[in-house]
Structure 1
Amino acid sequence: MTLFQMEVLVAVSDSGSFTRAGEKIGLSQSGVSHTIHALEKELGISLFTRSRSGVKLTAAGVQVDASARIILEQTAAIKRIAAQAAGIHQATIRIGSFPSITKSFLPALLKSIHKLYPQMETRLFEGSYQEIKQWLQTGVVDVGFHPWPEAGLEVTLLISDNLHAVLPAHHPLATKSLVTLEQLADEPFIMPMAGCDRLVGSAFQKNGLEPQTAFEVADNATILAMVEAGVGVTVIPALTLPASLPKVAVVELSPTVTRHIGLAVPSLAKASPAVLAFMREAERIAPTL
């Protein structure tokens, strides 16, 4: 039995799916299946029952899963002790990030980190807000970019990112200096689904409004293409806007809606010296970007 097998077991248990478990830990569905099959063969028991709706732990699997979590937590504690004794230079940090931060902020941060700590290794896991939170809580990543605040995580605020209205270039509101949520509520709305939907929906709700959501789209490039085609309007964060815009108009919102972004860990008290150093460097360079 290996630690890797236990990590895969816990990932499948948490996700209820071999495919989703593989996506979280960077392994193919067949790789996950093979790993679990090998573990079941070694133990001589079935760990999961399989059905069309997914997989579920057997009674024996529940007990093995609980013990595996204890072993993985103790292993992580040993690694933290070793990293502290050896210094932070030789550590490996697993980072959770979402696309707009990966593009706009992370390159400068990684460049600075690798200059300060040449032997430190970094691994990137990119996903949605919810995926990053789950990765943090299950130990898939050590630190992750995430909106602030967030229950169940300790988040150090780094960036405040205002949302903007995005309209077709020839839209009647395109020449305005400000656009209100009330004006947007009368338009066919393209809801950004990469994580901002909760913030956007809350902003409308706080003003007693409800957008006429015609489309729900996760990919920012697709959203902009749809706005350019005139099929609707949207609200997206400034950091998601490309340097070269298609034929759309970007207008400030009134009232201002802001996405607050930070670096999150399950517990600052339990974070490794390397993770804390990574977070300090992120705080240092955030005001310069």
Structure 2
Amino acid sequence: MTIQQLYYLVVVADQGLISKAAYKLNISQSGLSQAINSIEQKVGFPIFMRSNAGISVTSNGQPIIDHAREVLREYDKLTEEIDQIKEKRREVFRVAVSDEIFLPFIDALLLIQEKYPDFKVELVETTPDLAVDGVKSKKYDVAFVTYSAANHSDLQGLLVHNCLAGKPRIYTTQDHYLYQHKRPVPLDLLLEQEFVLYNDDQLLAEAEKFQKKCGKVNISLITDNLNVIYEFLAKFQAVTLLRDFQLKNSLYRDKKSKFYPLEIEGYNFAENHYAWITRPDMSLAETEEEFIQQVEKFFMRV
């Protein structure tokens, strides 16, 4: 029997009259009568007893009606689950990434799209503030952002899943005299250096905090291009401020190993966290969850 035939049986049993059942089903009485007769011929016995007073279920027909109700209930559950899956499934999974798309995103995306060719991701580079606002306003489904204790309150009301932890550090090239000294750099000597800063709201805030406590520094360039930063460091013997996990996961494979950290005497930068965030009411499809899991795995492998 089809779902439609089962539905006919249940409605006729509930209504007790072919005329009422036909009206509810929006079909003709003759069409409904023919459908019921066809079902009874298939099962080989009467499911309904007809009389002038109406129509009632026979003793043999009652188990059929009971099972029909169970099947229809399960069918309704199935259609509801299918609808929920459709609601979860998005044409494009919108992911905001604060400041820089790390290498693990590319590795995970290549892996997932090979497995699921129809899976589409929109990776958007933006600032941490805009990424958080975008998740709250439903512009983005998920965002990967950096935060510290100073701005953790900005994430209030969101689900926060930590991936990485580390600190901003001062970096330079291997041939810089400060690195070759192989000992902590005094603050007064550091203040004499030319700085090239990464264009990141929180890193710039860390640099501002450092200057307020230790003294003004000479900032010659602010850019969001790690390759440009390296060229300035190499050519002008400059220094920069980057997060350790940022450099470790950078897309620039050939450059990240050429940045060397300096130990600073008498100053420590605050710990930073890298996390993916989403709204509490946000449900991710299985493919989307798998993509995020792969990103996290690649973070661990780097």
One fold, TM greater than 0.5? yes
1:158 corresponds in structure 2 to 163
Alignment of 1:192 onto 2:198: yes
Partner AA of 2:281 in structure 1: K
Deviations 1:114-168 (A, max 9, x none): 3554443211222232332232233221111101354134321112344442335
Q: Secondary structure at the match of 2:201?
A: coil
Cα distance between partner residues in 1 of 2:216 and 2:294: 39
Deviations 1:97-125 (A, max 9, x none): 2454x242201222343355444321122
Cα distance between partner residues in 2 of 1:85 and 1:258: 39
Cα distance between partner residues in 1 of 2:276 and 2:134: 13
Pairs within 5 Å for 1:1-289: 84-86=84-86, 92-98=92-98, 100=100, 102-115=101-114, 117-149=116-148, 150=152, 151-152=154-155, 153-167=158-172, 169-177=174-182, 179-180=184-185, 182=187, 183-198=189-204, 200-201=206-207, 204=210, 208-218=213-223, 219-230=225-236, 232-238=238-244, 239-240=246-247, 242-245=252-255, 250-254=260-264, 255=268, 258-265=271-278, 267=279, 269-274=280-285, 275-276=288-289, 278-289=291-302
Would the alpha carbon gap of residues 273 and 171 (structure 1) be closer, same or farther in structure 2, given more than 3 Å must change?
closer
Would the alpha carbon gap of residues 264 and 90 (structure 1) be closer, same or farther in structure 2, given more than 3 Å must change?
closer
Deviation at 1:259, TM superposition (A): 3.5
Q: Secondary structure at the match of 1:225?
A: helix
Consecutive unaligned residues in structure 1, runs of 5 or more:
1-80
Partner AA of 2:112 in structure 1: I
Cα distance between partner residues in 1 of 2:208 and 2:83: 42
Deviation at 1:251, TM superposition (A): 2.1
Q: Let me know the Cα RMSD of the aligned residues.
A: 3.6
Cα distance between partner residues in 1 of 2:297 and 2:254: 28
Partner AA of 2:261 in structure 1: V
Cα distance between partner residues in 1 of 2:144 and 2:257: 31
2:18 corresponds in structure 1 to none
Would the alpha carbon gap of residues 244 and 136 (structure 1) be closer, same or farther in structure 2, given more than 3 Å must change?
same
Cα distance between partner residues in 1 of 2:271 and 2:281: 30
Cα distance between partner residues in 2 of 1:157 and 1:106: 16
Whether the 8 Å CA contact 2:230–2:259 is kept in 1: the answer is: no
Cα distance between partner residues in 1 of 2:256 and 2:219: 21
Would the alpha carbon gap of residues 277 and 205 (structure 1) be closer, same or farther in structure 2, given more than 3 Å must change?
farther
Cα distance between partner residues in 2 of 1:132 and 1:181: 37
State the number of aligned residues.
Answer: 205
Deviations 1:171-207 (A, max 9, x none): 321214454572423423223223342453276269x
Given the two structures, how large is their TM-score scaled by the length of structure 1? 0.56
Would the alpha carbon gap of residues 263 and 222 (structure 1) be closer, same or farther in structure 2, given more than 3 Å must change?
same
Cα distance between partner residues in 1 of 2:93 and 2:180: 46
Whichever of the two has the greater Rg, that structure is: 2
Cα distance between partner residues in 2 of 1:127 and 1:181: 35
Percent of residue pairs bearing the same amino acid type: 14
Partner AA of 2:146 in structure 1: P
